[in-house]
Structure 1
Amino acid sequence: MASVWLTGIALVLAGPVPALLARARWTRSVPRAAIVLWQSVAVAAVLAAVGSALAAPEALLRVFLHPEERTGVALAVAVGAAAVLAGLIVVRLVVVLVLLAVRTRVRRARHRDMVDLLARADRGDAVGALRAGTVRVLDGAVPFAYCVPGRVGREGRVVLTGAALDTLCPNELRAVIAHEQAHLDARHDLVREGFTALHKAFPVIVRSREARDTVALLLEMLADDAGRRRHGDAAMAGALDAFASTGRAGYGTDVVERLERIRSHVRGGRALAVGTYLAAVALVVVPTITIVVPWLADALPVVGIR
């Protein structure tokens, strides 16, 4: 029975829950807590899938064999099957994550080197005092900005085009740099990598882009909040409006939603944030206590563990 419940939880957390959570508007008020909730949904889905794989063979033993027959070869086959099924899930996820991490870091290292090579030193002096050592300015007729995460012992890069310097006022420019620096300081790239790996590792039949895409939007909103705190809503909104008016999608396909959020002065209350954090904890803890622990209490003695 535990296997059935865990399978159901895994399917619900991989499909309907992300679909509903992606459409929820309240998450925009508390992006940090909402990201933690999304992470909890992902962790709970993986744990439920692994738990289901571990519990399924033991459940089949209970259905088809009498208690005195659940020993010897039958027990060994069940334990082996459980280990293989759970191992396949874990190994696939780990392999996808490692390959993604390696390829991403190689690509970023090359990107940082190219940015350093092509950066305009004369334009960089105009913003160097704002965040010395991290800002690079490239030639470009379209105003936009992005960041390239660093690695251990090496700083990331905040990249601006010359058009951004010409278009934005000083306060808007500072807000943009604060936004990109927030991504670097909080290592938002690691959060993105985790959800990208989960997306690639999940079977196509239950795979959904909603978690990956919604978390990416929430991370942008979280970085927007960093710019708002330091330089005000007007500066952050003005910068986004300047980028959006160029039609540049690379700065964020949901830039209109982010602009509306800032102009509406959306800020979540502490009660909503605390409730979201508690929901995130409950997603992992409740199934463990109500399903996994009782199942382990019954299953472990069957394999000789008391």
Structure 2
Amino acid sequence: MTIEPLSRPAATARAPHWEWRYLDLMRRIWTQGDERVDRTGIGTRSLFGETIRFDLSGGAMPLLTTKRVYWKTATRELLWFLTGDTNIRALCAQGVEIWTDWPLDRYRRETGDDIARADFSRRIVEDEAFAEQWGDLGPVYGKQWVDWPTYESAGEEGLFRRGPGVNQVTQVLQSLKTNPGSRRHIIEGWNVAELDAMALPPCHKTYQFHVANGRLSCALYQRSCDLGLGFAFNMWSLALLTRVMAHQCDLEPGEAVWMGGDVHLYLNHAALVEEQLSREPAGEAHMRFGRRPASIFDYRIEDFEVSGYAPQTHIAAPVAV
């Protein structure tokens, strides 16, 4: 299907609200991006090597206002990552369905049962054995963050056994506290040896933290970004992870720096693109902590309080699996 380029003037991208940078990127991808067939078969328009920066000072948070972003869902996902869990059961139990499509697709392919998504999710929650068989995503994000696998000699030639996992989050927190000037404050999700075992290789793959003048910033390198659907969650999660790391280290939040490799829009998102580019951003969201837990692994959804967020209506679009 051929989709006509949008004609909204790019000059509005110079307005001060941070979200204009996002909208300008959306417009450039849609009108100038390289059109290609992608893994999903749907097709995308894509640009390579894009950056968006956001200043987290004063509790500001990068929530899009031109459509509603369900920040509690994104927060529950980040808290789930920090547990190291890789089964969707805990997410489904909280009504978070953003990872359900991948196990559901596998279940349908392997069993031939065209079960409805809601019924699949309900069974994942209610049936532990079913969840164990069909709900696991493989060693995705959280597994790499808090339990990166190591191997050690088993004492026999050529044999190795699993060693203690590496908790990268704990290591970086300790490094930030004891050696803030280090250039090695990195959390990495791209474990080459385990990519084939993952339902989806990590898109937001590398986080690097930086301390300057008592402020903690974080740069995220994201190899692949669905700008229409995924970016809003990715940007929020980057900012939230930076904030909780700073909270635990007695540092002020600095900048959230998002860097996208292949940044794309799906060709079946034409309605989303046209609707979102017809809107103007307004207002700013802020977040405060309700308490400071003893550990970064002890935050709960109730610990995050968002104010000033008055978005426009949600824009629905299909997820490409």
TM class by shorter chain equals under 0.3
Structure whose residues are more often helix by fraction: 1
Using the size of structure 1 for normalisation, the TM-score is 0.26
Structure whose alpha-carbon radius of gyration is higher? 1
Using the size of structure 2 for normalisation, the TM-score is 0.25
Structure whose residues are more often strand by fraction: 2
